[in-house]
Amino acid sequence: MSFNLGSALKSLAPTLATMLGGPLAGGAVAAIEGALGLAPGAGVSGISQLLTTGALTPDMIEKLKECELTQATLMSQQKIDLVKLNLDHSAALAADDVADRTSARSMQIATKDWTPDVLAWLIILGAAGSAYFVLTGQVAAATKDPTTAALVGSVVGYLFSEAKAVTAFFFGSSVGSKDKDATLAEIAKS
- Mean pLDDT score, 93-118: 84
At residue 131, the pLDDT reads 87
Assess whether pLDDT exceeds 50 at residue 33. Answer: yes
- Mean pLDDT score, 154-169: 87
Assess whether pLDDT exceeds 90 at residue 66. Answer: yes
- Mean pLDDT score, 126-136: 87
At residue 73, the pLDDT reads 92
- Mean pLDDT score, 52-65: 87
Closest CA relative to residue 162, chosen from 117, 119, 106: 119
Assess whether pLDDT exceeds 70 at residue 28. Answer: yes
Assess whether pLDDT exceeds 70 at residue 184. Answer: no
Mean pLDDT of the residues in the chain: 83
- Mean pLDDT score, 53-63: 87
Residues 96 and 100: their CA atoms lie apart, in Å, by 6
Structure confidence at residue 1 as a pLDDT band (50, 70, 90):
very low
Residues 122 and 117: their CA atoms lie apart, in Å, by 9
Q: What share of the chain is helix, strand, coil (3-state, %, to 5)?
A: 75, 0, 25
Q: How many of the other CB atoms lie within 10 Å of CB of 121?
A: 11
Distance between alpha carbon 130 and the CA centroid of its chain, in Å?
25
At residue 70, the pLDDT reads 92
- Mean pLDDT score, 115-140: 86
Per the CB < 8 A criterion, the answer to whether 169 and 130 are in contact is: no
Structure confidence at residue 185 as a pLDDT band (50, 70, 90):
low
- Mean pLDDT score, 79-92: 89
Assess whether pLDDT exceeds 80 at residue 175. Answer: no
Assess whether pLDDT exceeds 80 at residue 85. Answer: yes
At residue 189, the pLDDT reads 58
